[in-house]
Chains A and B, each alone.
Chain A
Amino acid sequence: DGGITQSPKYLFRKEGQNVTLSCEQNLNHDAMYWYRQDPGQGLRLIYYSQIVNDFQKGDIAEGYSVSREKKESFPLTVTSAQKNPTAFYLCASSAAGGYQETQYFGPGTRLLVL
């Protein structure tokens, strides 16, 4: 998984609860990303960060929040405002700058609602 770790592997959320998914990378990459994967669909971008202390909304940011206080860490919080959170969440990172923007992915966290 290329030096990107995600935890936990499985996460259960109760009604009205906020939960936080962890993503850490030791690749010294500047950029980090969060994607949501639903069955039979392509990855959809939730949030991304190109540099520490800065992040931008992706295509489906509503109901999610992020922070980027350290280069190696990019946690994602799924808030109670996200009404359909059940999905497989993938974190990725890429080296900033240059022509190539190959993104390398972590192993994923599966979020289930109780």
Chain B
Amino acid sequence: GESVGLHLPTLSVQEGDNSIINCAYSNSASDYFIWYKQESGKGPQFIIDIRSNMDKRQGQRVTVLLNKTVKHLSLQIAATQPGDSAVYFCAEKNSWGKLQFGAGTQVVVTP
């Protein structure tokens, strides 16, 4: 999940396993959500997005699930690879039209 502070939560995943990264968002009126991947020292890369009128969306090796009832978003990565090691964070578009970003989860892929 997300947290604020110096230490990000860490998800350790064995290569080839599936990863599930969670995000709790704050605003029930948020209508658009994005997942980003950020490798060390680089800018965030867009992974996948989802609108609030959907509860699931699939991309290449990734699936985003949205549960509006409990304000929860998750990113599933299938067959995790070493290149998937990075910080993953979610963003929500709030009622003022601005994106708000979570602090992220560090994913570490072990051989």
A35: nearest chain-B partner, CB-CB: B101
> In the complex, which residues of chain B have a beta carbon less than 8 angstroms from the beta carbon of A1?
42-43
Q: How many residues of A contact B (CB 8 A)?
A: 23
For the A-B complex, the count of residue pairs with Cβ-Cβ distances under 8 Å equals: 56
What's the minimum C-beta distance from A28 to chain B, rounded to whole angstroms?
17
Total count of chain B residues near the partner, CB < 8 A: 29
In this complex, what residue of B is CB-closest to A9?
B41
**Chain B contact surface mostly:** loop
Residues of B bordering A, CB below 8 Å: 2-8, 32, 34, 36, 41-46, 49, 51, 89, 91, 93, 97-104
| 11 new A-B contacts at CB < 8 Å, known A42-B89, A90-B43, A103-B34 | A35-B101, A40-B5, A40-B7, A90-B44, A99-B32, A99-B51, A100-B49, A101-B93, A107-B42, A108-B42, A110-B41
